[in-house]
Protein backbone atom coordinates (compact mmCIF):
# COMPACT_ATOMS: atom_id res chain seq x y z
CA UNK A 1 0.00 0.00 0.00
CA UNK A 2 0.83 3.72 -0.09
CA UNK A 3 2.03 3.82 -3.67
CA UNK A 4 2.51 7.12 -5.45
CA UNK A 5 3.04 7.32 -9.19
CA UNK A 6 4.19 10.11 -11.45
CA UNK A 7 3.79 10.62 -15.15
CA UNK A 8 5.78 11.10 -17.23
CA UNK A 9 8.99 9.73 -15.79
CA UNK A 10 11.01 11.99 -18.04
CA UNK A 11 10.26 14.71 -20.55
CA UNK A 12 12.27 16.82 -22.98
CA UNK A 13 10.71 20.01 -24.25
CA UNK A 14 11.61 23.17 -26.10
CA UNK A 15 12.11 26.44 -24.32
CA UNK A 16 8.86 28.40 -24.05
CA UNK A 17 6.54 25.41 -23.98
CA UNK A 18 4.51 24.16 -21.03
CA UNK A 19 4.84 20.77 -19.40
CA UNK A 20 2.33 19.01 -17.16
CA UNK A 21 3.39 16.43 -14.58
CA UNK A 22 0.85 14.18 -12.88
CA UNK A 23 1.08 12.76 -9.39
CA UNK A 24 -1.31 10.03 -8.32
CA UNK A 25 -1.88 8.17 -5.08
CA UNK A 26 -2.77 4.70 -6.32
CA UNK A 27 -4.19 2.93 -3.30
CA UNK A 28 -5.12 5.66 -0.87
CA UNK A 29 -6.71 9.06 -0.79
CA UNK A 30 -4.40 11.97 -0.20
CA UNK A 31 -5.81 15.23 1.04
CA UNK A 32 -2.34 16.74 0.99
CA UNK A 33 0.32 16.38 -1.66
CA UNK A 34 3.69 18.07 -1.85
CA UNK A 35 5.85 19.04 -4.80
CA UNK A 36 9.64 19.07 -4.51
CA UNK A 37 12.44 19.91 -6.89
CA UNK A 38 15.97 18.54 -6.87
CA UNK A 39 18.91 19.92 -8.82
CA UNK A 40 21.99 17.77 -9.46
CA UNK A 41 24.05 17.01 -6.37
CA UNK A 42 21.60 18.92 -4.18
CA UNK A 43 18.94 17.90 -1.71
CA UNK A 44 15.19 18.06 -2.28
CA UNK A 45 13.63 21.50 -1.95
CA UNK A 46 9.91 21.91 -1.31
CA UNK A 47 8.13 23.97 -3.94
CA UNK A 48 4.54 23.90 -2.77
CA UNK A 49 1.93 22.16 -0.65
CA UNK A 50 -1.23 21.11 -2.41
CA UNK A 51 -4.52 20.50 -0.62
CA UNK A 52 -7.47 18.93 -2.39
CA UNK A 53 -10.04 21.48 -3.40
CA UNK A 54 -8.05 24.54 -2.43
CA UNK A 55 -5.23 26.69 -3.73
CA UNK A 56 -1.68 25.49 -3.28
CA UNK A 57 0.66 27.11 -0.82
CA UNK A 58 3.97 28.04 -2.40
CA UNK A 59 7.33 28.29 -0.73
CA UNK A 60 9.18 31.57 -0.76
CA UNK A 61 10.87 32.19 -4.05
CA UNK A 62 8.68 29.81 -6.07
CA UNK A 63 6.63 31.62 -8.72
CA UNK A 64 3.01 30.54 -8.48
CA UNK A 65 2.24 31.77 -11.99
CA UNK A 66 5.05 29.71 -13.44
CA UNK A 67 4.45 26.51 -11.51
CA UNK A 68 0.70 25.89 -11.62
CA UNK A 69 -0.57 23.28 -9.21
CA UNK A 70 -4.01 21.71 -9.35
CA UNK A 71 -5.31 19.18 -6.83
CA UNK A 72 -8.75 18.45 -8.17
CA UNK A 73 -9.29 15.07 -6.55
CA UNK A 74 -8.09 13.06 -3.59
CA UNK A 75 -5.86 10.95 -5.81
CA UNK A 76 -4.47 13.39 -8.36
CA UNK A 77 -2.35 16.52 -8.26
CA UNK A 78 -0.76 18.12 -11.30
CA UNK A 79 2.18 20.48 -11.67
CA UNK A 80 2.38 22.52 -14.86
CA UNK A 81 5.63 24.26 -15.66
CA UNK A 82 4.59 27.15 -17.88
CA UNK A 83 6.89 28.75 -20.43
CA UNK A 84 9.69 26.43 -19.44
CA UNK A 85 13.29 27.61 -19.71
CA UNK A 86 16.55 25.68 -19.47
CA UNK A 87 16.99 26.72 -15.83
CA UNK A 88 13.76 24.83 -15.03
CA UNK A 89 15.48 21.60 -15.97
CA UNK A 90 15.39 19.53 -12.81
CA UNK A 91 14.07 16.42 -11.09
CA UNK A 92 10.50 17.03 -9.90
CA UNK A 93 9.16 14.77 -7.17
CA UNK A 94 5.76 14.65 -5.53
CA UNK A 95 4.69 13.10 -2.27
CA UNK A 96 1.41 12.33 -0.60
CA UNK A 97 0.46 11.79 3.01
CA UNK A 98 -0.79 8.30 3.67
CA UNK A 99 -3.75 7.04 5.63
CA UNK A 100 -1.99 7.40 8.95
CA UNK A 101 -1.66 11.15 8.30
CA UNK A 102 1.89 10.84 9.60
CA UNK A 103 3.94 9.51 6.73
CA UNK A 104 4.71 10.95 3.31
CA UNK A 105 5.21 8.60 0.41
CA UNK A 106 7.10 9.79 -2.62
CA UNK A 107 6.62 9.26 -6.29
CA UNK A 108 9.48 8.06 -8.50
CA UNK A 109 10.12 11.55 -9.85
CA UNK A 110 9.97 13.24 -13.24
CA UNK A 111 13.13 14.38 -14.93
CA UNK A 112 12.56 17.52 -17.01
CA UNK A 113 15.04 18.73 -19.60
CA UNK A 114 14.32 22.03 -21.31
CA UNK A 115 16.30 22.69 -24.47
CA UNK B 1 11.14 21.94 12.11
CA UNK B 2 13.96 20.91 14.40
CA UNK B 3 17.31 20.58 12.66
CA UNK B 4 19.18 17.34 12.37
CA UNK B 5 22.88 16.56 12.10
CA UNK B 6 24.15 13.52 10.25
CA UNK B 7 27.60 12.37 9.15
CA UNK B 8 28.28 13.22 5.53
CA UNK B 9 29.24 9.71 4.54
CA UNK B 10 29.71 6.20 5.88
CA UNK B 11 30.91 2.87 4.58
CA UNK B 12 29.66 -0.52 5.67
CA UNK B 13 30.68 -4.01 4.64
CA UNK B 14 28.10 -6.10 2.87
CA UNK B 15 26.29 -8.41 5.26
CA UNK B 16 27.13 -6.35 8.32
CA UNK B 17 24.78 -4.11 10.23
CA UNK B 18 24.79 -0.48 9.14
CA UNK B 19 24.26 1.97 11.98
CA UNK B 20 23.42 5.51 10.90
CA UNK B 21 23.38 8.15 13.63
CA UNK B 22 21.36 11.34 13.76
CA UNK B 23 21.40 14.18 16.27
CA UNK B 24 18.25 16.23 16.81
CA UNK B 25 18.89 17.99 20.09
CA UNK B 26 16.18 20.64 19.55
CA UNK B 27 13.37 18.18 18.84
CA UNK B 28 10.09 19.09 20.48
CA UNK B 29 7.84 16.72 22.37
CA UNK B 30 5.40 15.99 19.55
CA UNK B 31 7.84 15.74 16.68
CA UNK B 32 8.45 12.40 15.06
CA UNK B 33 11.80 11.14 13.79
CA UNK B 34 11.56 10.00 10.18
CA UNK B 35 14.09 8.18 8.03
CA UNK B 36 14.03 8.19 4.26
CA UNK B 37 16.58 7.10 1.71
CA UNK B 38 17.17 8.12 -1.86
CA UNK B 39 18.80 5.81 -4.30
CA UNK B 40 20.37 7.57 -7.26
CA UNK B 41 17.86 9.14 -9.64
CA UNK B 42 14.82 7.88 -7.72
CA UNK B 43 12.28 9.46 -5.42
CA UNK B 44 12.90 9.13 -1.67
CA UNK B 45 11.78 5.90 -0.06
CA UNK B 46 10.17 5.87 3.36
CA UNK B 47 12.01 3.59 5.79
CA UNK B 48 10.66 4.05 9.30
CA UNK B 49 9.53 6.62 11.83
CA UNK B 50 9.01 6.85 15.57
CA UNK B 51 8.04 9.19 18.36
CA UNK B 52 9.48 7.88 21.61
CA UNK B 53 9.72 4.12 21.46
CA UNK B 54 12.11 2.07 19.40
CA UNK B 55 10.56 0.81 16.21
CA UNK B 56 11.24 -2.11 13.88
CA UNK B 57 9.86 -3.06 10.52
CA UNK B 58 10.89 -5.26 7.64
CA UNK B 59 13.46 -2.76 6.45
CA UNK B 60 15.14 -1.43 9.56
CA UNK B 61 15.15 -0.65 13.25
CA UNK B 62 15.00 2.80 14.78
CA UNK B 63 16.54 3.39 18.17
CA UNK B 64 15.62 6.68 19.84
CA UNK B 65 17.45 7.75 22.98
CA UNK B 66 15.42 8.35 26.10
CA UNK B 67 15.94 12.11 25.93
CA UNK B 68 15.00 11.95 22.21
CA UNK B 69 17.97 14.11 21.27
CA UNK B 70 19.46 11.50 18.99
CA UNK B 71 18.55 8.34 17.14
CA UNK B 72 20.15 5.53 15.16
CA UNK B 73 18.84 3.79 12.09
CA UNK B 74 19.96 0.18 11.88
CA UNK B 75 19.98 -1.84 8.68
CA UNK B 76 20.60 -5.31 10.11
CA UNK B 77 22.20 -7.02 7.12
CA UNK B 78 23.33 -4.47 4.58
CA UNK B 79 23.29 -5.38 0.91
CA UNK B 80 24.69 -3.53 -2.08
CA UNK B 81 21.18 -2.29 -2.84
CA UNK B 82 21.22 -0.35 0.41
CA UNK B 83 23.76 2.07 -1.05
CA UNK B 84 21.92 5.40 -0.96
CA UNK B 85 21.66 8.79 0.72
CA UNK B 86 19.85 8.45 4.04
CA UNK B 87 17.89 11.37 5.46
CA UNK B 88 16.90 11.82 9.09
CA UNK B 89 14.06 14.33 9.44
CA UNK B 90 12.06 15.48 12.44
CA UNK B 91 8.53 16.61 11.81
CA UNK B 92 5.10 16.87 13.41
CA UNK B 93 3.61 14.62 10.76
CA UNK B 94 1.54 15.61 7.72
CA UNK B 95 3.78 18.60 7.18
CA UNK B 96 6.33 19.53 4.59
CA UNK B 97 9.61 17.69 5.00
CA UNK B 98 12.85 19.64 5.18
CA UNK B 99 15.66 17.61 3.68
CA UNK B 100 19.21 18.22 4.81
CA UNK B 101 22.27 16.78 3.13
CA UNK B 102 21.84 13.33 4.64
CA UNK B 103 24.39 10.54 4.99
CA UNK B 104 25.77 8.91 1.88
CA UNK B 105 26.00 5.22 2.80
CA UNK B 106 28.18 3.03 0.64
CA UNK B 107 28.00 -0.73 1.05
CA UNK B 108 31.34 -2.34 0.29
CA UNK B 109 31.33 -5.82 -1.27
pLDDT of A13-25, one tens digit each? 999 999 999 999 9
Q: Among A36-40, A63-67, A93-97, B91-95, where is mean pLDDT lowest? A: B91-95
Give B60-85 pLDDT, tens digit per residue.
Answer: 999 999 999 999 999 999 999 999 99
Residue A67, pLDDT score: 97
Q: What is the pLDDT at residue A1? A: 63
- Residue B80 DSSP one-character state: G
Bridge partners, residue B64, by sequence: B71
**pLDDT above 90: percentage of residues in chain B:** 84
pLDDT tens column, B12-64:
999 999 999 999 999 998 899 999 999 988 999 999 999 998 999 999 999 99
How far apart, in whole angstroms, are the C-alpha atoms of residue B23 and residue A100? 25
CA gap B109, B105 in Å, rounded: 13
Nearest CA distance, A105 vs chain B (angstrom): 6
Whether A34 has a pLDDT exceeding 60, the answer reads yes
Write out chain A residues lying below 8 Å of B34, CB-based.
103
Structural contact between residues B33 and B24, judged by C-beta atoms closer than 8 angstroms:
yes
Q: Give mean pLDDT, residues A17-41.
A: 93
Between chains, do B96 and A103 touch, taking CB under 8 Å as contact?
Answer: no
CA distance B28 to B1: 9
pLDDT bin (cut points 50, 70, 90) of residue A102 is confident
For every residue of A10-46, DSSP letters joined together read EEEE-TT--EEEEEEESSS--SEEEEEEE-TTS--EE
- Residue A46 has its nearest CB partner, among B41, B45, B96, at B96
Are residues A11 and A112 in contact, defined by beta-carbon separation less than 8 angstroms?
Answer: yes
pLDDT band of B2, cuts 50, 70, 90: low
pLDDT bracket for residue A7 (50, 70, 90) = very high
> Does B1 score more than 60 pLDDT?
no
Whether the predicted pLDDT of B102 surpasses 90 = yes
Tell which wins on pLDDT, A73 or A101.
Answer: A73
- Enumerate the residues of chain B whose CB falls inside 8 A of the CB of residue A45: 99
A56-81: burial string, b at 16+ Cβ within 10 Å, e else: bebeeebeeeebbbebeeebebbbeb
Beta partners for residue B103, in sequence order: B86
CA distance A97 to chain B (A): 6
Q: Is the peptide bond between A8 and the residue preceding it cis, with omega within 30 degrees of 0?
A: yes
- A91, A101, A104: residue with CB nearest B97: A104
* Chain mean pLDDT for chain A: 93
Amino acid sequence: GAVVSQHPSWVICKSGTSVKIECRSLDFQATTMFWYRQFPKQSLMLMATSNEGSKATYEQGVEKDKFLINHASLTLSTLTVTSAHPEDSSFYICSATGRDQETQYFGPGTRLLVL
Amino acid sequence: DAKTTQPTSMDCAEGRAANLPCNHSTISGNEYVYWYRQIHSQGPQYIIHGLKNNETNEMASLIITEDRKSSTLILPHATLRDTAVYYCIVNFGNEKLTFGTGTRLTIIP
